Structure 1
Amino acid sequence: MSEHPSEPKYADKAFYVTTPIYYVTAAPSIGSAYTTVAADVIARWHRQRGEAAWFLTGTDEHGQKVMQAAEQHDTDPREWTTRLVESEWKPVLDVIDASNDDFIRTTDHRHTERVQEFWQRLYDAGEVYQGEYEGPYCVACEEFKLDSELIEGEDGVKLCPIHERPVDIVSESNYFFPLSKYADRLLELYDANPTFVQPESARNEVISFVKQNLTDLSISRSTFDWGIRVPWDDKQVLYVWIDALLNYVTAIGYGDDDGQFERTWPADVQLVGRDILRFHAVIWPAMLMAAGLPVPRQVFAHGWLLVGGQKMSKSKATAIHPSEIIDTFGSDAYRYYFMKTIAFGSDGSFSWEHMSAVYESELANGLGNLASRVTSMVGRYFDGVLPGPGEASPAERALADALGDAAKTADEAMDRLAIHESLRAVEGFVSAVNLYVTEQEPWKVAKDDAARERLGTILYTAAESLRALAVLYAPVMPKTSRALWDSLGAAERLGGLEAQDVRDAGRWGQLPPGATVTKGASLFPRVEQADA
């Protein structure tokens, strides 16, 4: 993916979805990939509607935590971050099949220059003042903490509640952003737009925090120099978060006059982990308010991925690289598993055993076996040419109705970012089609020459169901859906899969009789065959 975005593709406002930009202290894990896959599925779903979409991800490369990671590896921060970005963070996007339109680094000139311009404007407008800060700071969070947030460790040592590490007591002469004066405006925002912060538990947490604990924010550091220089005071660097948050606008041309910013901002969905919710739902909109810019339409905080009952963590050696799983199960199964089995917005657990069970039951024996049976029987009984349907029985009408319901439910759930509910509806339809084929027993009907029309109806019904499934699953399992689409001969009759409107997927009878149906390779080979 190019470091610089291409010319804007769309004349109208694009649906803009972002991931947080990830700290480059180590290689990516399934935790960061979880957010990226979710953003990718959302972007692909909107594209599958025929809508313009813009999907941004990237890396956060400044701050004390990154500097310390570089020191631990006997290198400087710029070399360390560049090495990790090029060898790990960009390649993993191909591993998980991310379709991001841009990848931003906070060390890019397009970012650093615009960050300085942004804060210089706020400084000139009187939105920044100088003062003294003394208090607890968690380097792992890159966050100033309140005393009330800390937990007590051994010998009374105060610990960060997220990382369970001792905090540093920082005393500096810094610059401050008057965050506290935006408390009322933030509460008005949450009240006027109840879905600005989601899910509801996250919204409640943010409202409670703003009502009780909003204090002014130190926006600079003077004890280290790995960061963007404060434009009016080159002896200090900007606090990493107020640098990093601006990536969402610097990446789309904030400060430029080419029109991309106006066509893209505000962001429609900003996905974040629960541990960085306050930065995005409190500090970020306050910064935008101070600058006179629109706030995002929604900040959505998903839950944590748990391994062995604990939040996945590099420091606790519970991090898992996505390729460890994808090398066994494939990228589509990986994407399906994390999007389907975890309620988006809640914590979720990963285990190899559960992954294997879902792969076997829902993918190999579910969708994969269905596709194999149907295409094989069209080949055997109709020489690979899709037959036309005869008169529909109650069974066919019921299946057509089930498809319409599943497609509608899936689309509505995606609008609520209930990705798991969307996939549950589609998987439920897979089960309905499998049951239909089992009950209709086309292999027995094929023995009766007088029932050839009935056989054609059964196989057309099953193939038409697969046509719809290819479209509905395309945003989640792009490789599988493309293979299924091609095996049905749909491309030659209906056009490319990418041109199919997912909102129209539930309209029955789109696959034309006469299409060439072929039985391809297994969509989901047995796990023991996956390495072959």
Structure 2
Amino acid sequence: MTRRYYVTTPIYYVNGAPHIGHAYTSVAADVIARFKRLAGFDVFFLTGTDEHGQKVEQAAQAAGVAPIELANRVAADFRDMYDRMAISYDDFIRTTEPRHAAGASALWKKLKENGHIYLGAYEGWYALRDECFYQEEELVTGPDGTRTAPTGAPVEWVKEPSYFFSLSKFQDRLLELYETHPGFVEPSSRRNEVISFVRGGLRDLSISRTSFNWGIPVPGDPKHVMYVWVDALANYLSAVGYPDGDAPRWDFWPPNLHLVGKDILRFHAIYWPALLMGAGLPLPERVFSHGWWTIAGQKMSKSLGNVLDPRDLVAEFGLDPVRFFLMREMPFGGDSDINRRAIITRMNVELANDLGNLAQRTLSQIARNCGGVLPERGTPTAEDTALLAQASLLPDIMHGQIDRQALTDALEEVWKVIRASNAYIDHQAPWALKKTDPQRMADVLRVLADVLRTIATVLQPYMPGSMDAMLTQLGVEEAERTFAALDTPLPAGRALPAPKGVFPRFVEPEAQ
């Protein structure tokens, strides 16, 4: 039976260019998708762009273009960022596509048919920047008396006709969901916030607008357009062919994982499951909310001018070092600061010294002392067995951590093996064994080659290009790079290409 895995990023809003926060979520989802593929899963990795709503309409007006022109331009920019970051998505959905309009409209009709949508009038506080309605008690009053959303976004009092979704009906069912499926929202600190919000009482949700028209028309009442979040959340359904139960991708429903930033958790952990309950659809397995990157201690914002384009980092430091840094530096779920010194330290200490030097020492000695071919496996000593056993556990240990979205912890498991391997090569000293015991030298180098093969295999999701180069140098063919293939040793005598450093040290340009 095929094991399927459906992972999503949020679809990103096209009122601005891609930044490091978008790249972070996307690289994390990519690591998970690549890991699952290596473990033998049939993976569907979805991402895309959220292209409707008042903010997009206003941004387009400010730029002097039609909303679809702005959406086309920004969607292309996101695709370019994905390509530069080696994001292996299976589908890139845009909410302006006909397939999405069909899916979102079908969800609306199902909710109405089930008695969960009614026409009324909305009157209350609305933050355009967040595309979110806020209750009176959620607002924050500043020293000057100005009232803002909890996110700091300005709010305005809005009054207009609106369709409503009967969110209040689902309060008890949502609380039961969080209690019976504690892993539905992670990390636990975020789950507690969600539970507290829902326990505080849910009001019915305004889900249409009449004050602008850049959106999907409400079925049967085109004077209204769908509230942008109902439209956006439906992308997870429309991408798998909803409402067509025979669509080729429908077998992937429900999603295994929605990866989101903490600023949009409410929409995914409260509104989304309630909408699915209302439509009678199976719920996602998990919503994981990760933290934010700050720049020199400040949250990124266009107004501060500190928004960081990940492509600039890649141009300076290289793709895989940047991917590695993003997944290594910040415990997944928390917040962290991004700065040049931290990136360079990770590159030089962990990539160049720890891993790069280990591979280079091993492969150069095989080239020099073993005729450039993979040695035979010898009779293992206790030290050999201990290191090989530690490495062999990596795929299973990491799989458990990947399933918990402990992406940083999974990397630390690999580095434990790398550090143990460096201690092993220093202790065994194969360069000295060449004179005293050439057979033992060959045995030690074979152990190191086998351990490096495992290390490079499990690091492919994090650093695909660099690990492709390392596996090639280790003589591992394309069909031998899955986790299952690790059970079959490489044949002795296989010729290895000339070794070449994979992770050069980074030297600041002015220091050269």
Fold-level match, TM-score > 0.5? yes
Tell me the distance in 1 between the aligned counterparts of 2:508 and 2:138.
50
State the partner residue of 1:206. 194
Q: CA deviation at 1:440?
A: 1.5
Q: Which residue number in structure 1 is paired with residue 65 of structure 2?
A: 75
Which amino acid counterpart does residue 516 of structure 1 have in structure 2?
Answer: A
The aligned residue for residue 467 of structure 1 is 453
- Find the counterpart in structure 2 of residue 287 from structure 1: 275
Which residue matches 1:322? 310
Match of 1:518 among 497, 502, 507: 497
Question: 1:200-231: CA deviations, max 9, x gaps?
Answer: 11111111111103110000011111111111
Partner in structure 2 of residue 354 of structure 1:
342
**Residue 467 of structure 2 is aligned to residue 477 of structure 1:** no
Letter matched to residue 505 of structure 2 = R
Question: Cα distance, 1:261 vs. partner?
Answer: 4.4
Is the CA contact (8 Å cut-off) linking 2:3 and 2:41 kept in structure 1? no
Gaps of 5+ in 1: 1-10
Which amino acid is the alignment partner of residue 150 of structure 2?
A: P
| 1:54-203 superposed matches below 5 A | 54-86=44-76, 88-162=77-151, 164-203=152-191
Task: Answer yes or no: is the 8 Å Cα contact 1:56–1:101 preserved in 2.
Answer: yes
**Does structure 2 retain, via aligned residues, the 8 Å contact 1:12–1:263?**
no
Does 2:236 align with 1:251?
A: no
Are the equivalent residues in 2 in contact too, given 1:375–1:518 (CA < 8 A)? no
CA distance in 2, matches of 1:281, 1:484: 41
Kindly state the Cα deviation for residue 124 of structure 1 after the two structures are TM-superposed: 3.2
Q: CA deviation at 1:278?
A: 0.7
Please tell me whether the aligned partners of residues 332 and 477 of structure 1 are also in contact (alpha carbons under 8 angstroms). yes
Aligned length: 511
Aligned to 1:16, the other structure's residue is in SS state strand
Q: 1:241 aligns with which of 224, 229, 235?
A: 229
Q: Partner letter of residue 456 of structure 1?
A: A
| Offset of residue 126 of structure 1 | 2.2
The answer to whether structure 1 residue 415 and structure 2 residue 397 are counterparts is no
Q: Per the alignment, do residues 13 and 231 of structure 1 end up closer, same or farther by CA in structure 2, a change over 3 Å counting?
A: farther
Question: Which amino acid in the other structure matches residue 152 of structure 1?
Answer: T
Identify the range of structure 1 (376-385 vs 510-519) with the bigger mean alpha-carbon deviation. 510-519
Which position in structure 2 is the counterpart of 1:49? 39
Partner Cα distance (1:355, 1:213) in 2: 44
Distance in 2 between residues matched to 1:171 and 1:339, nearest whole Å: 44
- 336-345 vs 214-223, which moves further: 336-345
Deviation at 1:303, TM superposition (A): 1.0
Q: Which moved more, 1:477-486 or 1:314-323?
A: 314-323
Is the Cα contact below 8 Å between 2:10 and 2:259 reproduced in 1? yes
Partners of 2:116 and 2:57 lie apart in 1 by 29
Q: In structure 1, what is the equivalent of residue 286 of structure 2? A: 298
Distance 1:345 1:280 in 2: 16
Q: Cα RMSD over matched residues?
A: 1.9
1:472-499 per-position Cα deviation (integer Å, ceiling 9, x unaligned): 10111111111111111121xxx5244x
Whether 1:24 aligns to 2:3 is no
Q: CA deviation at 1:405?
A: 4.1
SS at match of 2:183: coil
Match of 2:144, SS? helix
Cα pair 2:167 2:202 within 8 Å, conserved = yes
Superposed displacement of residue 397, structure 1 = 1.9
1:310: how far off?
2.2
**TM, length-normalised to structure 2:** 0.96
Counterpart Cα distance in 2 of 1:519 and 1:204: 54
Distance 2:370 2:161 in 1: 80
The 3-state SS of whatever aligns with 1:447 is helix
Distance in 1 of aligned mates of 2:475 and 2:392: 22
Kindly provide the amino acid, as one letter, of the partner of residue 309 in structure 1.
G
Q: Deviations over 1:150-201 (max 9, x none)?
A: 2122421101221x23211111111100100110111111112111111111
Q: What's the secondary structure of 1:254's corresponding residue?
A: coil
Q: After the TM superposition, which residues 417-436 of structure 1 pair with which residues of structure 2 at under 5 Å, given as runs? A: 417-436=405-424
Q: Per the alignment, in what secondary structure is the counterpart of residue 345 of structure 2?
A: helix
- 1:336 and 1:410 mapped to 2: Cα distance? 16
Could you tell me which of 460, 484, 488 is aligned with 2:474?
488
Letter in 2 for 1:157: T
**What CA distance in whole angstroms lies between the structure 2 residues aligned with 1:116 and 1:411?**
38
Distance in structure 1 (CA, Å) of the matches to 2:299 and 2:168: 31
Quote the sequence identity (%): 44
> Aligned letter for 1:278?
R
Task: Give the conservation status (yes or no) of the 8 Å contact 2:53–2:215.
Answer: yes
Residue 438 of structure 2 aligns to which amino acid in structure 1? R
* Kept in 2: contact 1:340–1:420 (CA 8 A): yes
Deviation at 1:438, TM superposition (A): 1.5
1:263 aligns with 2:240: no
Q: String of CA shifts for 1:441-481, please: whole Å, max 9, x gaps.
A: 11122233xx1101101111111111111111011111111
- Aligned partners of 2:36, 2:405: CA distance in 1, in Å? 12
| SS state at 2:255 partner | coil
**1:308 partner letter:** A
Counterpart position of 1:369: 357
Q: Deviations over 1:344-367 (max 9, x none)?
A: 111122111101100100001111
1:308 paired residue number? 296
Structure 2 distance, partners of 1:529, 1:485, is 29
Amino acid at match of 1:62: H
Dislocated runs of 4+, deviation >3 Å: 404-408
> Does the CA contact (< 8 Å) of 2:4 and 2:252 recur in 1?
yes
CA contact (8 A) 1:344 1:419 kept: yes
Q: Tell me how far apart the structure 2 counterparts of residues 165 and 209 of structure 1 sit (CA, whole Å).
A: 19
- 1:12 is displaced (CA, Å) by 4.2
Q: Tell me, which stretches of 5 or more residues in structure 2 are unaligned?
A: none
Counterpart-to-counterpart distance in 1, 2:299 and 2:498 = 43
Hey, what's the Cα distance between the residues in 1 that align with 2:414 and 2:446?
A: 19
Letter of the 1:26 counterpart: G
Contact 1:488 1:515 in 2 (8 A): no
**Counterpart pick for 1:387 among 372, 375, 381:** 375
More displaced 10-residue stretch of structure 1: 423-432 or 259-268: 259-268
Letter in 2 for 1:139: L
Write out per-residue CA displacement over residues 393-430 of structure 1, whole angstroms, 9 at most, x where no aligned residue: 23212212321344442222112111111110001111
